[in-house]
Structure 1
Amino acid sequence: MSEHKCECCGRKKVRSEEEYKRLLNRLSRIEGQVRGIKAMVEESAYCPDILTQCAAVNAAMNAFSRELLTNHIRTCVADDIRAGRDETIDELAATLQKLMK
């Protein structure tokens, strides 16, 4: 299990090694895609080609966010509600609003 503490709020999430690796692998692929876009700009690639790659990065980030949100609801949110910490519902609603901007 991997446990990491959030610097901004002090909360932490214990993730299985499988989830931890899967999330990091997704982010590494996205990072590579962004580097590819940077190279395209440096090489003066045609705008629609760059925009196509930007759309792919956006889709990859959305997929990452969906996976993380699903795991969050299934674990953190469900556990907090079972424990009577209803403020988690407000936190989830605020998080969803940020994601839907």
Structure 2
Amino acid sequence: MRVPMPMGVGVAGKNGSNIQWEGNNWAMSCNFPGNDMFNVQIRGEDCGGRCAQTSNCTHFTWTTYLGGTCWLKSGAVSKNDAIETSDLSMVCGVV
């Protein structure tokens, strides 16, 4: 099922200079706005793997929206493009 990401979900609007990246190129409380290819309702721990297995997926954001939504994204991106969010449950990452 494809649903649009609700506007303002966890967005603090601040560039991610304080984001703490983990070893596998993911972090908590961050978002990559825009460039959505599609989304799927899956567990947060499966989102990065789904992106890695999806053609043209370069990065992702996972939210608790609809019980857990992985937003698969495409395009040139770096960790510096992530923004901090006020939502401690959000996850973003690059593949």
TM class, shorter-length: under 0.3
Structure with a larger share of its residues in helix: 1
Higher radius of gyration, 1 or 2: 1
Question: TM-score, normalised on structure 2?
Answer: 0.26
Question: TM-score, normalised on structure 1?
Answer: 0.25
Q: Which has the higher contact order (CA 8 A, sep 6+)?
A: 2
Structure with a larger share of its residues in strand: 2
